[in-house]
A and B are shown apart, each in its own frame.
Chain A
Amino acid sequence: DTGVSQNPRHKITKRGQNVTFRCDPISEHNRLYWYRQTLGQGPEFLTYFQNEAQLEKSRLLSDRFSAERPKGSFSTLEIQRTEQGDSAMYLCASSSTGEGDTQYFGPGTRLTVL
């Protein structure tokens, strides 16, 4: 257990529905990252926050995706109008720039879009 928690661990939804995932980082970590991983591939970066500011977004993050970190602590990732291609593992990681900036990952949320 790295101290990064994600909820839910599994989500099954129908195409067209909206889903929201939550990530709670290690306490005091100022950076929080979202990645997506499809079967047989390594994780791909989506976006990251430093405190509450969203500093970088990948081109993978389409208009249907939005992420927030309102108070610089937990973060949410929302996918609107889900598509079957959104089926993947969504991973969250956190790091502290004051402590070496090593990223520690949560267990992930497995999304299945039917």
Chain B
Amino acid sequence: AQTVTQSQPEMSVQEAETVTLSCTYDTSESDYYLFWYKQPPSRQMILVIRQEAYKQQNATENRFSVNFQKAAKSFSLKISDSQLGDAAMYFCAVHDSGGGADGLTFGKGTHLIIQP
């Protein structure tokens, strides 16, 4: 079974600064995918970034980048030049196809506060 741990229930950052959200996971599979989702106050679930485990290069999407450490099973999200619109819950998730199940496993989330 997969597990995802987000050890920071809440993080706060000044606007325009950089913040890093932590995520560790556990899976018995060697081939899997990792995700960060954003859930703003509207409670939509928006995909922020995706990383394939077999790719060593860290994924980047504009101001969002990840630090993927496969051996440590760590997948942190870095948000540069934080903006007020980045305020949201951020969920880390892992997907593998092992054991026949095919759903994403999510962490409990980190509430990100942006201070103007």
A and B are partners in one complex rather than unrelated chains: no
